[in-house]
Amino acid sequence: MNPHHELEELLQCLGKPLPPENSLVDKVMDRLPNSPVFTPSNRKGLRIMRSSLGLSVSVLVLLAVWLLSLSAPELTLAELREAIGREHCLHVEFDTGDELWILLGEHQSWHRDRNGNAAYHDHRRNIHQQWNPQLSFIMEDHLSRTALGPPSSPLDAVGLPQEWLTTPNADLPSGDSPSWTRSTESVEGLRLIRFDFFGQNSLKQRVVKRQLWVDPQTKLPVRVRQRLGDGSYRDGRYSFPQSGPRSLADLGVPANLPVRIISDVQPASEPELARALKKIDEAIGRFPTRYRALIWGEEMQVLYQDGLPQWDESGFYWGPVKLCRLRYDASEVRLWDWFETPQPWSILLNDGQRRVDYNTRENRIRIGPRGRGNSIIPMECFWPIGGTATRLNTPGKNDAGLIGIRFEGVNWRKDCWFDPAHDHIAVEQIDWNVDSDGWCRTEEHRLTDLRQLPGDRWYPAMRITTLHRPGLTDETIVTLFHIQPFQAREHPLAQFDIDRLLQEARKQGATVTTD
């Protein structure tokens, strides 16, 4: 068969209505030949991209400052404590342009990136400030973070057991694919021990995830290289100035800017809020986890879901859930069951291990870590949970029987009103973001035309969204939902094999990239 026609048939079959007896995807996958994993062409060099620094990088280099200032290669516990007690500054500069300073004795840190964005963290008092050049104020929050405490040893800080430095070669990990290796390397005339740590990318290829260089005499980490999400690497080097910044102003932030508390630690939930959150949690758990959703809005999307997501106060996590999303041009939106379905211009597949984004128009495939991508997921639209929760006192909506809850993060918030009579669906929602003028509404959503699925579970057939953009007229978007649960014997995506789709796309000369 002509490969072009074979791929066309595959895409058309993915979008057809579900047969009454057998799963559509099972039939489609039966048509596809088995294929080995496709290896993309070699990259020419490594592209280093800018990346924000997390606390793990801070801990990685935390202890170098006190040991470097001492002449003896070994430290007693008393000397270690004395070094930490003195104020020393550790400066880290990455080749991405990011910089980090840490005052060890005070458990404080500062960060500045190449674009001038700055941050300050007081880990002992749990005070965190952020600023970017577009803001006329400094954002502050007191949300819980992992505390930056005094570490016990430099190697503990980088997750490297001290005995690994002196373990006999015969006792090191062996086999064809050891999880880490050790070697000796000379860097700028200094003899260092290099540790390579391995993992797999989304194509299940073995790659170096991290490299760490350690001075065996001082037992200090000297240099680190880390793999980024796009497959490139970043390198960091350390210096130890006598002093560091004392405020954000020392990082280029204009002096005397006002500080706005954006989000704070909330007290223990009052009983009413706790009961409402429990009811919402129960309603989410009752919603079908194996279904097809037809979604009409600015474009048409078809979403297959097979599996139950995890959720908590931070929102939904879709990594392990099997998903297939097809997207169609708005000009070709039509009633699904009455007309022939056009070919989707975009396909997203998540099999619980990795995710494939296939742009059929550009003949381009991106393979990355598992997840939902930018899919519209009905459960997230119906129950927009996530963030610190507090009760909203809105008498008019309370009189209508709705429960108001605000979910809040560092620079965003969602005001939601849940309907207890319809599975606690958030029938109204207002989204807010922080800009130079403070809190501004960005979107409003209303869920209407509530319908019931088998088992008396409710869902809205319509969402009306109003977009608020500074200097522009408000825009209204109507999105329609149609949910079709799968029967117990049907397996919507259980048989789908990403490698088979890659094989068919490769026949068409598709460009394939991975993390």
Of all residues in the chain, the percent with pLDDT exceeding 70 is 74
Higher pLDDT, 28 or 345: 345
- Tell me what the mean pLDDT of segment 214-242 comes to: 83
| CATH fold for the domain made of 271-485 | outer membrane lipoprotein receptor (LolB), chain A (2.50.20)
Q: Choose among 128, 139, 127, 115: nearest CA to 438.
A: 139
Q: Is the pLDDT of residue 295 over 90?
A: yes
Q: Strand order of the sheet with strand 206-215?
A: 180-187, 190-200, 206-215, 220-227, 233-239, 89-94, 99-103, 108-112, 118-122, 127-131, 138-141, 259-263
CA dihedral 409, 422, 378, 298 (to 10 degrees): -100
pLDDT class of 280 with cuts at 50, 70, 90: very high
Within 10 A of 341 (CB to CB), how many other CB atoms are there? 20
Q: Looking at domain 55-263, does it have CATH number 3.30.70? A: no
Which residue is it, tokens 């993060």?
409
Q: Are 226 and 54 in contact (CB under 8 A)?
A: no
Q: What are phi and psi of 63, to 5 degrees?
A: -95, 0
Point out which residues pair with 290 in neighbouring strands.
Answer: 306
- Cut 0.95: pTM above it: no
Encode pLDDT of 104-143 as tens digits.
Answer: 666 778 899 989 999 998 877 888 999 988 888 888 888 7
pLDDT of res. 379: 94
Q: Are 286 and 308 in contact (CB under 8 A)?
A: no
Separation CA 426–CA 414 (nearest Å): 11
Encode pLDDT of 55-92 as tens digits.
Answer: 343 333 333 333 333 333 444 444 444 444 444 677 77
Token pair for residue 395? 């008498």
The pLDDT mean for the chain works out to 77
Q: Are 349 and 323 in contact (CB under 8 A)?
A: yes
pLDDT of res. 244: 84
Q: What are the start and end residues of each CATH 2.50.20 domain in the chain?
A: 55-263, 271-485
Q: Choose among 227, 234, 197: nearest CA to 100.
A: 234
Encode pLDDT of 34-45 as tens digits.
Answer: 322 222 333 333
Encode pLDDT of 369-392 as tens digits.
Answer: 888 888 889 999 999 998 778 889
Higher pLDDT, 411 or 296: 296
Separation CA 467–CA 195 (nearest Å): 51
Cα 279 to Cα 196, 207, 285, 398, 460: the distances in Å are: 48, 45, 10, 17, 18
